[in-house]
Structure 1
Amino acid sequence: EDPRRADSCRLAPMLGRVVGERYRLERALGEGASGRVFAARTPEGALVALKLLHEHEGSTDKERRRLEREARALNGLEHPAVVRVLDFGVDVASGEVSASGGTPYLVVELLVGEPLDVTLGRGVPPHDGLVLGRQVVEGLAAVHAAGVLHRDVKPANVFVLPGGRVKLLDFGLAKFTDEERWGEHSQLTRRGAQLGTPAYMPPELWFGENADAASDVYSVATLLFECIAGVTPYDADGRLAWVRAHATAPLPTLAERRPGLRGFEKLDAIFARALAKERAERFADAGQLAHALAALG
């Protein structure tokens, strides 16, 4: 059974409902552990993507905070390679009113395309991969400039649009670096919490240290490496093997991971810095990495 079809059938009774007195649900896009995603139409006729949280005891507060974190992280951030947040609110007429007052929802631009991991799974020519990966770096640079860390950069959190443009998504694990600007929302995740996806996690996060912009640099550089070489720098199976790979294994060159690759040798020096074991030896943020890539032409 196609899970997307199953989601559509299960969510069909919700279609036609108006959320937040503004967004009419027109089509089910999917359902996850924390919520449901719909294509919705505004009174002006625009189509948007709307995520409506589930309401169930035990996870409500955590998921609310995560959704609010994503909304705050992206509020006002305009960059071609970053998904745009359009609205955030609590729907009190959804039929799932909880003790906290209603069902939270997040509205973002509706995207057409596919996740980057799907694109890479089909195989991408190295030059095309470089173009895709550089866009992600540039989007992350804008995020860092806004005082935000992503903390889970990976191909599954990047969307590829028709024509090859990309959008960095899923800021549910975001952290705000500017405490004065963000106040109480600068620390919504406990210190030392292990976050991320094994193939893209820098060494310091495996040892319970806090993430910073250099941690994001490691993750996005791993993604960029994969876009060009077709594989991530390291292969491992299990937590201990991943720790050893990230913390102690020598960094391979692009050609070592993609035999026969030619013309990308200048990038190896950039990867040597961006994927350094010690974060102090990396580019301080994605802006510096983007500048280094631009300098190569």
Structure 2
Amino acid sequence: MNQKQWEQFEALYTELQLQPVDERQRFVARLKIDDEVKELLLASLDETDKSEQFFDSLRGVADEILNEKALEYERPPETIGAYKIAHKIGRGGFSSVYLATRDNDFSHRIAVKILHRGLEGSSALNRFYSERRILAALNHPSIASLYDGGITDDGRPYLFMEYIDGVHIDIYCATNNLSLEERLRKFLQICETIGYAHRNLVIHRDIKPSNILVDNSGRVKLLDFGIAKLLDDSDIEADLHETKLGTRVMTPMFSSPEQIRAETITTSSDVYQLGLLLYRMLTGAFPFSRKSTNRFDLEQSILQDDPILPTSQEKTAGYIEPAALRGDLEHIIMMALEKDPPRRYGTVAELAEDIQRYLDGHPVKAVKPTMGYRSSRFLKRNKSWAIPTLAMIVILAGSVISLFYQSQLIRQERDNALVLEQQAREEVAKSEKLSEYLIDLFSVNDPTQGG
């Protein structure tokens, strides 16, 4: 949209707000103006009164509409170098991805990413070259490889990349009915890959199921570094420039609060998105209520609402029973989804470590440590021998108590016997004294004795 069209839109938008709500659609329909301006006015009706920041993001809406119209006439080259374009396999806001084969050899396939026509002089071009630079610096088995790049005959940049014949991670988990442990093992692979990117000063910023495939061998593959960020000053300045223009590039449903607020993005944003991804892999659901498809409502829910507990979700076919997530795992997910970055895991490695500790039955960082909690984790971790040992201890303790009780009874009976014996002796002594007394008495009064 050129400057003249934008000025026309702003003037008409102001006038549109003065119309009765039920008359606004007809007001726009009667206008004899450029189709692109009219389409943007109609789109604005759904956003009106939603946010005082409407104009800040409206340029992004305009770009999306214009991109859609441009793509209606988009045609990729039939060939690029030795590769023949087969068909489209993906599309983003600034580029499309095609499957290509070498000299009709379908066993040799690559993915070709081509910038959309008309964006050669925009910030999208800078992002395209940034992605090329990032991919060239990354060498990891779970990151789609970059083979080459260049310019098409009609002047558009392209990238030759590894073609991944795979399935989105959440769909893979559901269709293969993976167990809880199997899903967590896959998630640890993803964490290791993101951690590798972070160690190379790259923040992905767009971690979502559609950007993580599982190939035929079962390995996860991380895709699309199109909005990834290098941790240097030039990228920060570029982000600030785009924020001022209202062209934030992100996937709203999988955006961190700081992305929505257009704040400085750090590795903590990837930790948050990994929390969203894990939530999705386990429940098949989204942690925020989506009462409407409106982007503003979704963003406000992410910023203001508490995430829905995984155990509060309904059971979805192919996903884990929510009740099985109660306890440590739910605490881990909720810690990753904290709105305040300092309250999340400090690094992806810390998140992965807590998942591993959960799998091993150790206490996790997300739960406040107490003696009872640590004891329960110990018993769970060592139940193969701890339970029999505990049973033996209980039996031994019972035996000791029983022996002690029996000894007490024996001692009591012995004491009672001694008392009775003493009483018997005393009675015998009394009897003997009485006998002696009677004998003496009768001896004194015997008439047969005397002088």
Is 1:51 equivalent to 2:110 in the alignment? no
Aligned partner of residue 148 in structure 2, secondary structure:
strand
| Aligned counterpart for 2:352 among listed residues 251, 268, 290 | 290
Q: Single out whichever of 152-161 and 24-33 deviates more from structure 2.
A: 24-33
| Aligned counterpart for 1:203 among listed residues 232, 237, 257 | 257
Q: Distance in 2 between matches of 1:277 and 1:248?
A: 9
Identity of aligned residues (%): 26
Q: Which has the higher helix share?
A: 2
> Offset at 1:69?
1.5
Aligned partner of residue 113 in structure 2, secondary structure:
strand
> Offset at 1:136?
2.2
| Aligned counterpart for 1:142 among listed residues 181, 184, 196 | 196
Q: Which has the higher strand share?
A: 1
- Partner residue in 2 for 1:246: 302
| Aligned counterpart for 1:112 among listed residues 157, 165, 170 | 165
- Partner residue in 1 for 2:281: 227
Distance 1:187 1:158, change over 3 A: farther
Per-residue CA deviation, residues 89-113 of structure 1 (Å, 9 max, x unaligned), is 234xx2x1xxxxx331111111112
Distance 1:232 1:131, change over 3 A: farther
> Offset at 1:224?
0.9
Ranked by relative contact order (alpha carbons within 8 Å, sequence separation 6 or more), the top structure is 1
Is 1:190 equivalent to 2:240 in the alignment? yes
Is 1:24 equivalent to 2:78 in the alignment? no
Matched to 2:342, the amino acid is A
Aligned partner of residue 271 in structure 1, secondary structure:
helix
Aligned partner of residue 288 in structure 1, secondary structure:
helix
Distance 1:120 1:239, change over 3 A: farther
Q: Single out whichever of 238-247 and 283-292 deviates more from structure 2.
A: 238-247
Q: Distance in 2 between matches of 1:266 and 1:175?
A: 32
Is the 2:183–2:282 contact (alpha carbons within 8 Å) kept by the matching residues of 1?
yes
Aligned partner of residue 296 in structure 1, secondary structure:
helix
- Partner residue in 2 for 1:99: none
- Partner residue in 1 for 2:183: 129
Q: Which of 1 and 2 has greater Rg?
A: 2
> Offset at 1:231?
0.7
Q: Single out whichever of 134-143 and 227-236 deviates more from structure 2.
A: 134-143
- Partner residue in 1 for 2:140: 79
* 5+ long unaligned stretches in structure 2: 1-70, 316-320, 360-451
> Offset at 1:215?
1.1
Q: Distance in 1 between matches of 2:276 and 2:354?
A: 16
Q: Distance in 1 between matches of 2:179 and 2:304?
A: 27
Is the 2:236–2:264 contact (alpha carbons within 8 Å) kept by the matching residues of 1?
no
- Partner residue in 2 for 1:3: none
- Partner residue in 1 for 2:44: none
Aligned partner of residue 25 in structure 1, secondary structure:
strand
> Offset at 1:155?
1.0
- Partner residue in 2 for 1:4: none
Is 1:174 equivalent to 2:235 in the alignment? no
Matched to 2:337, the amino acid is L
> Offset at 1:171?
0.9
Q: Distance in 1 between matches of 2:271 and 2:353?
A: 13
Aligned partner of residue 283 in structure 1, secondary structure:
coil
Q: Distance in 2 between matches of 1:185 and 1:125?
A: 39
Q: Single out whichever of 122-131 and 102-111 deviates more from structure 2.
A: 122-131
Aligned partner of residue 322 in structure 2, secondary structure:
coil
Is 1:34 equivalent to 2:90 in the alignment? no
- Partner residue in 1 for 2:367: none
- Partner residue in 2 for 1:257: 313
Q: Distance in 1 between matches of 2:184 and 2:301?
A: 24
Matched to 2:239, the amino acid is T
Aligned partner of residue 111 in structure 1, secondary structure:
coil
Over the aligned positions, Cα root-mean-square deviation in angstroms equals 3.1
Q: Distance in 1 between matches of 2:260 and 2:76?
A: 42
Q: Distance in 2 between matches of 1:262 and 1:285?
A: 28
Distance 1:124 1:187, change over 3 A: farther
Q: Distance in 1 between matches of 2:260 and 2:252?
A: 9
